Amino acid sequence: GDLAIFQKPAMAVVGSRKMSVYGKAAIDQLIPELSEAVVIVSGLAKGVDAYTHQAAMSGGETIAVIGTGLLTSYPSEHHKLQARIAHDHLLVSPLPNHAKIQRWHFPYRNLTIAGLSQATMVIEAAEKSGSLITANYALQENRLVFAVPGPISNPLSAGTNQLIYYGAAPALQASEILRDLFFNV
């Protein structure tokens, strides 16, 4: 991909593989404006990640960090999306090129996502979600963490609401996120 993308400010956006209508609406509301100002980094997983990459590409740039080698497409239905990102944006892996799918690879992917980004935003996350691992890595590196608040009755909001309870900034408007991001850089 385009290595010059590494030189630009970046924000990780992660969330549930089981994206809800609410999660999709949050991405539609936040990502177009955010992607005009920062590179959007995500993990190319089903749900929030893939939809975020697509939304970012409509007006900005994206980095996909995958949990396999660069020569493997996972999930397989994202083959075309992965190829498009590799060609027009940037595809990154912390693993050797031929690495296949292994469960223990994904925490490395999450660490790389957080490490490439000045901030991390969690769109939707259950109480025990890999997205919370990414947010925790960001916090360990003293990076900003944002979370989209959600209904207390929705299990996909349990993780994001918990992040807000423990001090993450609520992700309400792209302009506020960008102000916080560039004020703290």
Q: Whats the size of the chain, residue-wise? A: 185
pTM value surpassing 0.85: yes
% of the chain with per-residue pLDDT over 70: 99
Domain that holds residue 131: 3-184
pLDDT by residue (tens digit) across 125-147?
A: 999 898 999 999 999 999 999 99
Whole-angstrom Cα distance, residue 127 to residue 32?
Answer: 27
Tokens coding 70: 């660069």
Q: Work out how many domains the chain is built from and give that number.
A: 1
Tens digit of each residue's pLDDT (9 = 90 or more) over 98-133: 888 887 888 899 999 999 999 999 999 999 898 999
**pLDDT tens column, 59-96:** 999 999 999 999 999 999 999 999 999 999 999 999 88
The CATH number of residue 49's host domain is 3.40.50.450
Q: Which residue type occupies 28?
A: D
Which residues, 6+ apart, have CB-to-CB distance to 107 below 8 Å? 130, 133
